[in-house]
Structure 1
Amino acid sequence: MGIFLKSTIAFSLLAATSVNAFELSSTDIQEGAPMAKTFEFAGWGCDGDNLSPQLSWNDVPEGTKSFAITAYDPDAPTGSGFWHWVVFDIKGSVRELPRGADVAKLGGVQVRNDYGLKAFGGTCPPEHDGMHRYQFTVWALPTETLGLDDNVSPAVVGFNLHYKALGKAVLTATYTR
């Protein structure tokens, strides 16, 4: 192997290991693990505390000016999943939400979730429907605002997030009733 090829391979490996990945973590929920009743909805036959979990993120993409957070259950028996939380226009300096966060204080705009509330709506899968996954996603955005108001649907927000995001970090927890 020539010196040029060896140098190129070494540089490529060094570059690949020094790139940070946008990461989402939580002190309340873990990847693939069941969530506590604290995060279960209060209503619709459920009697949890309906608190959003603590979330923190790091190694955000360069150029990030705001964040959005979504919580989605792809296993809901609706044919289209179930939106539990949709928040956008969170200030770009924010790197953490505490448990039970008041996202309005962080500049966040909440849209109506599938419970019909402009707030976090916790887990509440139908009884005996098996395990459901809850995908918490933080989206890094290149603008301070999405240019949407709080009356748009989660699907419209989702379209904009997929189209505009610089990156996203996902943490998937589970819940069963």
Structure 2
Amino acid sequence: MSRFDDLVATVETYQALAEENYNRIRRLAEDVRLGLCHYLDAGDGNCVHLVPPGGPFEARSYGDQAFSIPPRGFRPLGPVSFGLAVRISRKSDWLRLTLHCRKTGDTFVVQIEEGSEYEFHLPILEADAGPFYDHLYDHILGWFTDNIERYQEGAYGARAIGFDFSRPESGKEIEFSMQSMDY
């Protein structure tokens, strides 16, 4: 076997593992989208979409574009990120929650951007779903609750939030990124 053949065989193994990693995270993302929407019980089924992890977004399904790496072609073997657009009002206000996923040994770690981590043991069991949705919900609700309290105490200026907001108005998408706004 030549060095080139050895290189090609190694890269083929690498790509097979990158595909396994992507497919595992893609399944998790789809399950989280559907499960979180059921968990929130908004009534109309239009409460969570998979969106890109960064940049402008609309409240719609982005399919393959919702992930930080491409679904086909040469892919890196490493963490994969995706966004969840979560409806936060009865109208059309949406918040993007960005999740970073990685495998660490037999543990699968999902980290909320600007937030904490949640660990699953592989394979991911359905019993882990409820506590994970509690974790996501508590993160979102906690941010709003903390900011309400800061406002009521008069200490709410110049604070980063780690969320992006999106709300379509007059058929035009407007993104509110409040990462470092001063009030």
TM > 0.5 fold call: no
Higher relative contact order (CA 8 A, sep 6+): 1
- TM normalised by structure 2 equals 0.34
More helix by share: 2
Which structure shows the bigger proportion of residues in strand conformation? Answer: 1
Q: TM-score when scaled to structure 1?
A: 0.35
